[in-house]
Structure 1
Amino acid sequence: MTQEVKANNSTLVNSVCAIVFILFTFVYLYFFQSDIIAMEQHVLSGGITHYNKTIGAVLLTVVLFLVKLGVSKLTRFDGWINILNYLPSLMFLAVLTSGNQDFDVSLFPTNVIVIVCIVIILYAIFAVLSRQKSIFYIDTSYTGSLTGGLWKSLLALSAMLLMVCALGNTNEIFHYRLRIEHLLESNDYDNALSVGEKSDDTDPDLTMLRIYALSRTKQLGERLFEYPIPKGGSDILLPDGVNVKCMMFPETEIFKQLGIRKMGKMKPLEYLLYLENHGLAMKSVTDYILCGYLLDKNLDGFVNIIKNKYNLSSPALPKHYREALTLYTHLRSNPVLVFHSEIMDADYADFQKLEEKYNNKSERFSYVKDTYGETYWFYYFYQ
């Protein structure tokens, strides 16, 4: 193989690998990790600056590629092994997208930092030894067919890209939280409610954000139990700064729509009832209280509030409130009020028939969830 052919092969392989690197980096930053980068910038700037995912993805891709070019000048690897010059850039990308969920302790996970440091040290040792051919030698020339050299380089690059994905933060719930908070900052409540709506995974922080978005769109009593609900009852209604909290969205915005008094050390439902009883409550507090009682499965407390707040014969009565009232009427031998809806009573009768149809608990759970998983009845009996 002539020197000219080798040079052409080398240029073509390097160009293809550069295109793959640039495309991967941009797509990974723009579509998959923009929420993590936004959170990191928010923390590092103290909330002063905001991340633009288009500009950020372009700038970071350019910077990482320039780092690769700089590393190439230092190492001067020959042949297909030149692909290793992407390793420092990709390790930096791995750290950048690893974003620690508990950023109060550390912005980046310690295990990721340790792994990346070890990889970079080994890379530096390899780079030094590879120049001492009398001590360490590996044939790096482009020999054989062009296809063989290209696939060898792409295989090595693919392994490095997989390492980046493995080290990056891929926690689905955490990404949902960050995306919702970003949308809430833009008052885009409808899109915030669509984030992760088909997923069964959730946590108290994510649910608290959804409750706020539902409240702002006046759908709290209509749609809350269409989403998965974690353990915690009414304690997940509001952020407490410890067990339930926001990452970027100002918690003051959540309390602003409820009342003028801060929660302090009170539990969420206790705080909401304090606002209500002392004439400090905004209109949205009523639905927060009602849903708090439903989350605690306290039907008596729910009924005592709703009978004075809603017209129970109105067709506009939210769905979950009708479901809870139907359940209360069927469960109590001496109910404070009796609620009947032809459609709701028929649905509840079908719910009971479906339960009776399956003796196996796991089978019953599966079938009931498929049909009634978005009702308060399912939450009350199965969660």
Structure 2
Amino acid sequence: MSDYTNALYKKTARIMIAVCGLLFSLFSFVYLYVFQRDVLEALHFSLAHGKTVFAPLASAIIITLILLLLRWGVNSLLGLKGKVRALAYLPSFLVLCALTDVGRGVYMSDYHTPWTWLLPLLVLLFVGLGYWLRGVFRVQLNQEGNVWGLVNSNLAILLGLCVLTVCVGDSNRTYHHELEAEYYLRTQEYDKVLEVGERSLEASRTLTVFRAVALSHLGQMGDKLFAYPQYYRSDGLFFDSDSLHTLRYTNDSIYYLLGARPYAGEDRMVFLRNICYKGSGKYTSLDYYLSALLLEKQLDRFMEAVPDFYLPEDTLPRYYREAAVLYHAERNDTLFPVADSLMIRRFKAYRELQQKGGSALEEQNRMRREFGDTYWWYYDYQK
């Protein structure tokens, strides 16, 4: 090989070191700060027991720098060269996998992850195997080969490790939405809670409860509750009793918001009704009770309760008015008690659109596009 070719190969090798370092740094920072920020925050909260504040930007930068140092240490030990130099990033990628492969049980006191023993085991195996192979292939590692082979091989290794990390790390969109909404709820940024997954028709029970809590704090439950998917009826106002299906919040936080807690075994609807009529709950309990009646499609009981808590001259929240219009329309009343001509006209348009032909599925989708944010759609089409 000529001196010119040797110089070009060595120069390309130095450039590749810098390029791989830059590409790894970009991937690590973006992956941690943009895609896995909520998972990283959850892991931090669990490890620190909530005693320290999580700084996502600083954490992503510091972790990336530490992983770069880890790569430097590994390569100093193994002396990887040529086409396999990028393999020195493997332990760093394994650390990224361990940090972002976090499940729902992260907040439980007995939480444990297989990465506790798997990460050091894999790193030791890699170092041991790499050290042994370095001695076996010492001659090949010291040989200078094709420049494009050097570039393509290292970039392929780096890309493969990136793909592996993304596949191992938690990529469940529903779980990420829950973590993000929970973070905003804990920091009392209630408007941002409502922005999480707002364009998606998917909504887990936990996310549905977070939205209800945020709306309650904002005093907008009667105006915005049915603007979001409601798949769980009144269960969507309370967390699941199984701790593996919830995050940091439990129903204790709901009871604190309501100002009362049920007796053991007390029916939820009875509990909500009692604290409203006895006045033992906070003002938030009224919206919870009326919303629970609407979610259970109990229009009769809803219309019985409204006069007990609202004066005739009061302006009802949007969905309470929609429910009142629907209630009287179901009974073929000629007079609508809601003095809202715009809403009455919209309800008539709703009924007219229902009369158009098509299959049940076509009708449901057509009505969702035009009236999916109304209580009428929920009452008629949500199972």
Q: TM-score normalised to the size of structure 1?
A: 0.88
Q: 1:214: how far off?
A: 0.4
Q: 1:270: how far off?
A: 3.2
Contact 1:80–1:141 (Cα < 8 Å) also in 2:
no
Tell me the equivalent position of 1:221: 222
Does 1:87 find its partner at 2:90? Answer: yes
51-60 vs 264-273, greater mean Cα deviation: 264-273
Among 64, 69, 73, the alignment partner of 2:72 is: 69
Contact 1:39–1:247 (Cα < 8 Å) also in 2:
no
Which whole-Å CA distance do the structure 1 matches of 2:360 and 2:283 have between them?
Answer: 41
332-341 vs 96-105, greater mean Cα deviation: 332-341
Tell me the equivalent position of 2:374: 375
Mapping of residues 272-283 of structure 1, within 5 Å: 272-283=272-283
Contact 1:239–1:246 (Cα < 8 Å) also in 2:
yes
Larger relative helix fraction? 2
Cα RMSD, aligned residues only: 3.0
Tell me the equivalent position of 2:39: 36
- Secondary structure, in 3 states, of the residue corresponding to 2:258? coil
Which whole-Å CA distance do the structure 2 matches of 1:230 and 1:114 have between them?
Answer: 40
Tell me the equivalent position of 1:210: 211
In structure 2, relative to structure 1, the CA distance for the partners of 1:188 and 1:121 (3 Å cut) is: same
Q: 1:9: how far off?
A: 1.7
Which whole-Å CA distance do the structure 2 matches of 1:328 and 1:141 have between them?
Answer: 84
Tell me the equivalent position of 2:55: 52
Contact 1:98–1:167 (Cα < 8 Å) also in 2:
yes
Tell me the equivalent position of 1:143: 145
Tell me the equivalent position of 2:301: 301
Which whole-Å CA distance do the structure 2 matches of 1:49 and 1:299 have between them?
Answer: 48
Which whole-Å CA distance do the structure 2 matches of 1:150 and 1:362 have between them?
Answer: 54
Contact 1:173–1:202 (Cα < 8 Å) also in 2:
yes
Tell me the equivalent position of 2:355: 356
Residue type of the partner of 1:351? Y
Q: 1:148: how far off?
A: 4.5
Contact 2:206–2:245 (Cα < 8 Å) also in 1:
yes
Identity %: 28
Contact 1:220–1:287 (Cα < 8 Å) also in 2:
yes
Q: List gaps (5 residues or longer) in structure 1.
A: none
In structure 2, relative to structure 1, the CA distance for the partners of 1:105 and 1:243 (3 Å cut) is: closer
Aligned residue pairs total 378
Which whole-Å CA distance do the structure 2 matches of 1:120 and 1:174 have between them?
Answer: 29
Contact 2:239–2:250 (Cα < 8 Å) also in 1:
no
Tell me the equivalent position of 1:171: 172
Which whole-Å CA distance do the structure 2 matches of 1:265 and 1:59 have between them?
Answer: 49
295-304 vs 241-250, greater mean Cα deviation: 241-250
324-333 vs 197-206, greater mean Cα deviation: 324-333
Contact 1:214–1:224 (Cα < 8 Å) also in 2:
yes
Q: TM-score normalised to the size of structure 2?
A: 0.88
Contact 1:184–1:249 (Cα < 8 Å) also in 2:
no
Q: 1:29: how far off?
A: 0.7
